[in-house]
Structure 1
């Protein structure tokens, strides 16, 4: 289980995402849905991902963040900023290729920034599977090392997704 959470704030087209504590895949369904809504907005001028209070982050969350960075570059022509003061978290983010889509800064940030926790709502097995699969596919796009590392997992998740679609056609789909 995740012992952390994601907080979010927005002001005049700048979006702030704060990852607090130990954050795993279960905590990022709402984040993924939020990113889809942000992608559709026209007034996006910037994004900051604050990892200064992150103690652990899994590959699904890193994939969701990679998706944010890629979409901001592709759709809005913006390079997002990532704040990290934990050398282990910074090394992990860089090793996954996030330095390609974020400017990663060693900065503690303003503790007065007011963010609100994203609520984990409507988490189904299928929505979790789709989020984890999409996050890892995004990581695979960043570099060959990620491609090699996550290809077996993605193939396994795709098989599981195909099985679910065949056995449960009334479930939500991607």
Structure 2
């Protein structure tokens, strides 16, 4: 199991969550295991960009049956997956969840608009492999978190109101990082 550092208001803490992925004949399977937080999303976000460009996509399944915690950045990345599949491939993805708290959270964020959410206990023999987060930079992390929350804001007015202050703060941080980077490269 991969141990990832995650950020909280109090600083850095450890998380044991990760994302696994498999693909078979154009169907993409994403399995989120344990406490899945923002740092688990960089590879997932990159993978989604690749999938969006593929012509043979026929379906997607997001398995949350082993998810014990999921943060808003991860929900935003999943919303992005659901929206892109609907817009680009005219596919409604399926989300599997057996944890009522996770299901309620996903529905409250509007994911039920872009996923068919099913209460399902999956087959543990499904073969997925862990996505490996490579070279996570502060800029990449900030871009992923910002994009995820902007996607959640698009789903409904409640999310718009909830995440607008965070998005504005993240955009300020992004501008500051861009200015620092520009000065360093000059």
Range into which the TM-score falls when normalised by the shorter chain: over 0.9
| Residue 147 of structure 1: aligned partner | 160
- Consecutive unaligned residues of structure 2, counting only runs of 5 or more, are 1-13
Q: Matched residues in 2 for 1:130 and 1:53: separation?
A: 27
Instruction: State the aligned residue count.
Output: 171
Q: Matched residues in 2 for 1:57 and 1:154: separation?
A: 19
Measured after TM superposition, the shift of residue 29 of structure 1 is: 0.4
- Consecutive unaligned residues of structure 1, counting only runs of 5 or more, are none
1:59 to 72, 75, 87: 72
Q: Quick check: which one's strand share is greater?
A: 2
| Residue 163 of structure 1: aligned partner | 176
Q: Matched residues in 2 for 1:109 and 1:83: separation?
A: 8
Measured after TM superposition, the shift of residue 170 of structure 1 is: 8.2
Q: Relative contact order (C-alpha < 8 Å, sep 6+): which is higher? A: 1
RMSD: 1.1
TM-score w.r.t. the length of structure 2 is 0.90
| Residue 104 of structure 1: aligned partner | 117
2:36 to 23, 26, 31: 23
TM-score w.r.t. the length of structure 1 is 0.96
